[in-house]
Amino acid sequence: MSNWTSLWYVWLILLTVFLLLLCGITASCIKFCCRKKRPPVETFCRHPYDSTAIAIDSDSTAHSTVT
């Protein structure tokens, strides 16, 4: 059986897997902490425009010009 120190590629693979796992855990912790501090997002969307309704009476000048 070979000596473990001579199998450098096994140590390289183990180190790569460990670093990937460490990066994943770190990113999850950062995402969790940032989501905790952020204000809640609104669920409804606001319309960027306003609508105006104009009421026209039967005796107004606007009504007489239209008809």
Is 55 domain-assigned?
Answer: no
Q: Report the domain count for the chain.
A: 1
Residue 64 has pLDDT above 90, yes or no: no
Kindly report the CA angle at 44 between 40 and 49, in degrees rounded to 5? 120
Whether the CA torsion 26, 32, 34, 37 is positive or negative: it is: negative
Is 23 domain-assigned?
Answer: yes
pLDDT tens-digit series, residues 36-63 = 666 666 666 666 666 677 777 666 565 5
**Which residues span the domain enclosing 26?**
1-37
Q: What is the C-alpha radius of gyration for the chain, rounded to an integer number of angstroms?
A: 34
Tokens standing for 50?
A: 């306003």
Tokens standing for 10?
A: 């096994």
Is 13 domain-assigned?
Answer: yes
Q: Output the pTM of the full model.
A: 0.45
| 17 band by pLDDT with thresholds 50, 70 and 90 | very high
Is 3 domain-assigned?
Answer: yes
